[in-house]
Structure 1
């Protein structure tokens, strides 16, 4: 039987390794894999290595808003949706993966034009200027208030819908 001091040292070492690995993983840059405009006002961005937390996801978008406009011409209108998707295991063929819940890009002229539906972030800009961020399927939306702070708002309808489908 190990002494309490050894158990504490093992625990602290394990915790240190976990934090170090997590920090290294979180420092990987987000890579934009593909962008698409399926219809006017609707924009899709497929990424790899997106941040883990709601706050970091929204702040990534806010920090890269100008880049999306300048480099990818997203968005092109003043009333828009942007959905940021996880590339996960890459693009797949719908015919070979028809049992999966896929999101396909009709503007891609290759057979592997679908990804698994894993939405990281949805940004909606309304005509009156309010920008709303919905993170994944969590049931939470965020907006930036007048002081520049991120304010959370629970979407009760979405939250209860997701609870019903999970169990």
Structure 2
């Protein structure tokens, strides 16, 4: 009898853990704010994918929506270059207090900074090649649409 109870508790605990993992993995990405300065954009996000592949796939699936709703990317008129940094908005806005926070002076409050925790950078070069900078390296979209890791990372 005791053995059956231990087995049941183990199974329930395992199922609870799996459900918790699914909850964290399937939460939708939320965009808290978008700030643009010329061809540079900062996007504050929560629930961003954890893996490099997940982050890149999220961009590929949502780039049209970002363009339509927020006007990004916003390429430079002279060079055509752009850079979008996605920042983890985790704990929300904070006071400057620490030197290593990024602040948004557009917000007319002293609580207008976030921790510098970039989760994805999407950029391009003069030739129009698109690059993804993530935790584990830098990737480039080839002409045929394949995404390859670049050397030197």
* TM tier relative to shorter chain: 0.7 to 0.9
Contact map agreement 1:31 1:48 (CA 8 A) in 2: yes
Shift in Å at residue 134 of structure 1?
A: 0.3
- Tell me the residue number matched to 1:34: 33
Mapping for residues 122-137 of structure 1, pairs under 5 Å: 122-135=121-134
Question: Is 1:151 matched up with 2:153?
Answer: no
How many residues are matched? 148
**What TM-score results when the alignment is normalised by the length of structure 2?**
0.83
The Cα RMSD (Å) is 2.4
Unaligned runs of 5+ in 2: none
Specify the alignment match of 1:140 in structure 2: 137
Distance 1:151 1:16, change over 3 A: farther
Tell me the residue number matched to 1:21.
20
- Structure 1 outlier segments of 4+, above 3 Å: 5-17
Gaps of 5+ in 1: 157-167
Per the normalisation by structure 1, the TM-score is: 0.76
Give the Å deviation of 1:33. 0.4
Counterparts in 2 of 1:19 and 1:153: CA distance versus 1, 3 Å: farther
2:94 matched residue in structure 1: 92
The 2-side partners of 1:32 and 1:147 are apart by 30
CA contact (8 A) 1:140 1:152 kept: yes
User: CA 1:150–1:91 in 2, change beyond 3 Å: closer, same or farther?
Assistant: same
Which residue of 47, 62, 65 corresponds with 2:60?
62
